[in-house]
Amino acid sequence: MLSLRRRDIVCQQAVELVTDYLEGALSRRDRRRFETHLKACPNCAAYLEQIRMTIQLTGAIEPDDLSPQATQDLTELFRRWRSE
Ligand SMILES: [Zn+2]
């Protein structure tokens, strides 16, 4: 996207961060950058949702592996998207 500022992460980086994000393994700063990107990028938002569904279906990542913080962040994130 042309309007992206230089410090914004691009889709490829966002995609690479998804798993870490879901595992709550991102630093606070990376998580914020990731979320900022998702808010501006429906594609990556949809991708994250897909991964999350896959994890739920396959159990590749047990729910217990998700930190409460990550779960809370995701819930918060999706609530915001829906309301926008
Ligand atoms: Zn993107």
Taking only the tens place, the pLDDT of each residue in 6-50 is 556 788 888 889 988 988 999 999 999 999 999 999 999 998 998
What pLDDT was estimated at residue 59? 72
Q: Which residues surround ligand 1, an ion (CB under 5 A)?
A: 11, 14, 41, 44
- Summarised one tens digit per residue, pLDDT across range 43-81 is 999 989 988 888 787 776 555 556 666 667 767 766 676
φ/ψ bin of 5: left (φ > 0), alpha (ψ from -120 to 50), beta (otherwise) = beta
Model pTM score:
0.58
Residue 82 has pLDDT above 50, yes or no: yes
Ligand 1 geometric centre to CA of 29 (Å): 17
Q: Report how far residue 4's alpha carbon sits from residue 27's, in angstroms, rounded to the nearest whole number.
A: 22
Ligand 1 geometric centre to CA of 61 (Å): 23
The DSSP element (H or E) to which 66 belongs, if any, is none
What pLDDT was estimated at residue 1? 47
